[in-house]
Structure 1
């Protein structure tokens, strides 16, 4: 068992607070915990940058923080695009032939809903429109197409939604054998599988951000709960695994934060704010 967040007493040097969204900052029902805006204001007043680090695209993340996206950082698409105060400071592109190869396999493999991510836009097959209630939580601008074959757009990520909540099984049995040497694959919870270029993940996104800010990774606090958070948790000075995370995640954290349903991220932020006074 990880030591409690209360044992992390060296908080005064923290300059960046990065948090995953689903099952970390957000409650199980996807709701934002009450008081987030006040915490972001308090961090900003003390020179600490707040960052949402997620597999979600930038547009959805900006809409999640309507009053603060211009004052914060965003590591979107699992590190494939990075924003600071609404300025795009880094982006990565997947080779077109390669993303078509992934989409072709995903289209022909039962059980998955492939999504081609193109920064603020997403492309989904018309056959999968029935899943719009879930897809629209993450993608605000969806274009439905009869086929992916003719698409020629800049894409930084491919995602597959698994309504059967078996993303890890599909990763291990189908997609890692086909693409594991050419792309970085990671499960974003039980229902999503994400594909980025090798070397692109939340950790690389945080590295781009700290380099731009001129701060050290040792002075970053990060919060996460699942596989795609591991590259971020593994490199920062203050890594918090949520109490609701699976136990295998404890190997990638330094401290255990209260659960997402108990607003654990805000609880730790309050301690960071107090230490920064």
Structure 2
């Protein structure tokens, strides 16, 4: 696979969408040093930096406290998109579908069902045993006896798979049962995400690019795993970090150093250099 240095048209990039876990974030969940300065330098060069994640919007925004009000965010795998503090797109799940998802999750024993309602999550009481893992992504968690009793506006459903074999559960249970009715994606080894058909990070990137008047050929995407597939396929410049899931090499044109080697920062610096810009 070609290294990122083989992309000779980095100067044309006008928008960057970047996955968070195992892509921008190192294994210890830290961002690259001087990331705030890089976001500033990109903005000055006319290139918005957009985190694109399965994380909910509030948690995602908290990770960029200095810039959140000026940034774009593709949250919940494209189920909610904000730009400069304005919600510009949301996709709502049918309650009948998310109730069925909850029943299937519990009956299969796959893990903990989580109903994502933009700024909060609803979880069955047995999920309290995994509160620490859930709280990394969901700060406002409401534990309920029965998710069938919950009828709220929700834009994503997800399953926490404590055994860290989400791909097996995806293949054996959830893709066969829900693949026609919903967009289903593994978000790392411990999560399976469900959104409406057509909702994914790639569609989110297209919505944002249209709003900003940017041609998709001039967008860049960086990712590492299955829920990044559509985003990598859609972007004009597609990059994976070297620690990416092996299958993802079919969906990207170029490879960056790993998340722990700060591959996203390396790419940003190369884009800035190509544009004749630099960190402040």
User: Could you state the TM-score of these two structures normalised by the residue count of structure 2?
Assistant: 0.97
Write the distance in 1 (CA, Å) between the matches of 2:140 and 2:32.
25
Aligned partners of 2:59 and 2:139 also within 8 Å: yes
SS of 2:149's equivalent in the other structure is coil
Matches within 5 A, 1:243-262: 243-262=242-261
Secondary structure at the aligned position of 1:27 is classed as: coil
- Matched residues in 1 for 2:180 and 2:55: separation? 24
User: For 2:105 and 2:126, how far apart are their aligned partners in 1?
Assistant: 13
- Partners of 2:121 and 2:275 in 1: CA distance: 40
Query: Which blocks of at least 5 consecutive residues in structure 1 are unaligned?
Result: none
Q: How far has the Cα of 1:276 moved from its partner?
A: 2.1
Q: Which runs of 4+ in 1 moved over 6 A?
A: none
Trace 1:75-114 onto structure 2 (pairs within 5 A).
75-114=74-113
* Match in the other structure for 1:37: 36
Q: Which residue of 2 aligns with 1:211?
A: 210
Q: Which residue of 1 aligns with 2:134?
A: 135
Could you tell me how far 1:249 is from its partner in structure 2?
A: 0.9
Provide the rounded CA distance (Å) in 1 between the counterparts of 2:30 and 2:112. Answer: 24
Please list the CA deviations of residues 131-169 of structure 1 after superposition, one character each: whole Å capped at 9, or x if unmatched: 111111111111111111211100110000101011111
- 1:177 and 1:222 mapped to 2: Cα distance? 29
**Distance in 1 between residues matched to 2:266 and 2:70, nearest whole Å:** 21
What is residue 71 of structure 1 aligned with on the other side?
A: 70
C-alpha root-mean-square deviation of aligned residues, in Å? Answer: 0.9
Distance 2:263 2:220 in 1: 13
Partner of 1:193: 192
2:274 matched residue in structure 1: 275
Instruction: Find the aligned partners of 2:45 and 2:179 in 1 and give their Cα distance.
Output: 42
Equivalent residue number for residue 28 of structure 1: 27
Instruction: Provide, for residues 112-141 of structure 1, a one-character-per-residue CA deviation record: whole Å limited to 9, x for no partner.
Output: 011000011101111111211111111111
Q: Report the CA distance between 1:93 and its aligned residue.
A: 0.4
CA distance in 1, matches of 2:104, 2:3: 44
Q: Which runs of 5+ in 2 are unaligned?
A: none
